[in-house]
Amino acid sequence: MRDQYGRDLTDLRISLTDRCNLRCVYCMPAEGIDFRPSEELLQDDELLLLVRVAAELGVRKVRLTGGEPTVRPGLVPLVREIHDTAGIEDIALTTNGLLLDRLAGPLAEAGLRRVNVSLDTLDAAKFAAITRGGRVEQVTAGIAAAEAAGLVPIKINAVIVRGFNDADVVPLAALTLTRPWEVRFIEMMPFSTVGDFAEAGVVKSEETMAKIESALGALTAVDLSGDDPARTYRLPRAAGSLGFISPVSNPFCAKCGRLRLTADGRLRLCLLRDDEVDLLTPLRAGASYDQVKEIFRAGAFRRPFGHALAEQMYPQARAMIQIGG
């Protein structure tokens, strides 16, 4: 399956829930959000039907996200069913890591391959501030459990926020000196009511790289192909690598082949635009399998190109927690 710009569509990100056990400042508005009642979210059978549709159209990799995907009831059997879907070759999970200490083993056994764990700082007080109450030790325990369960290579995602954790990029990068992880630094993106905050606090990758190089030594390029949104580098004699994801300063739209399914059953055509295709309503209105497949294919085909962050225009309809990053 390709879109109108010829981009191959082999990756599907599925948001399993709009709920979370943390409330990160750049993701969840301070005033909270109106969680959708669970009956308005994709049920397991609906979600699995859409995975089958996607796989028949050429999707090979599924990434589960949210909200916090590990708070969805029945996650382990759901992973097993996705794993058993013909055509799906790879399942990964993006998580805050809090529940991995008990879920990593069962998830690996069900067919999960890898995890990306979000960790913005190693400092307990700052972690509690950014996540509005989280405990960093729970995340580090979760990462250890994921490694023990073989969910490797571990990728760590850190969103950099000026005034919160911009000084913490050095200790985070230093983790790769001894651990075979990829620590990825993400430019903060603006969404809905956290948009002004995100625009004011964004730290561009160039600044983060300079800070790391001056403290830890020159970075050697590993992969700058653009096939992955992260441009990757290595510190001298490091066991792991560093990734820089720069949607604001260096958009990667030309190579973006990501399809996104929201927890309420919308195909989101671009992370940074409000344009969506409703799949849940036709599914519940009795559309046939082939009709749903055609709505999916036609929606995916019209994926747009480019966003307007540089012109200070950002999506209004949903915060990140309601989309799935």
Residues within the interface to ligand SAM (CB under 6 A):
20, 26-27, 65-66, 68, 94-96, 118, 157, 159, 186, 188-189, 191, 198, 320-321, 325
Task: Give whichever of 68 and 264 is closer to ligand SAM, judged by the CB atom.
Answer: 68
Q: In what order do the strands lie in the sheet with 182-187?
A: 220-223, 230-234, 241-245, 182-187, 155-160, 114-118, 90-95, 61-65, 11-15, 258-261, 266-268, 276-278
Give min distance, CB of 69 to ligand SAM, in A: 6
Centroid of chain to Cα 177: 25
Q: Does 17 bind ligand SF4 (CB under 6 A)?
A: no
Size of residue set near ligand SF4 by CB under 6 A: 13
Task: Give whichever of 66 and 247 is closer to ligand SF4, judged by the CB atom.
Answer: 66
DSSP-assigned letter for residue 202: B
Residue 28 interacting partner from ligand SAM, ligand SF4, none (CB closer than 5 to 8 Å by kind) = ligand SF4
306 CB neighbour count, 10 Å cutoff: 14
- Provide φ and ψ at 187, rounded to 5°: -70, 135
**Which residue, among 18, 13, 319, 17, has the nearest Cα to 189 in the 3D structure?**
319
Give min distance, CB of 103 to ligand SAM, in A: 13
Binding mask 113-142 for ligand SF4 (x = CB under 6 A): -----x------------------------
Give min distance, CB of 320 to ligand SF4, in A: 6
CA distance 260 to 240: 29
Residue 157 interacting partner from ligand SAM, ligand SF4, none (CB closer than 5 to 8 Å by kind) = ligand SAM
Q: Are 117 and 146 in contact (CB under 8 A)?
A: yes
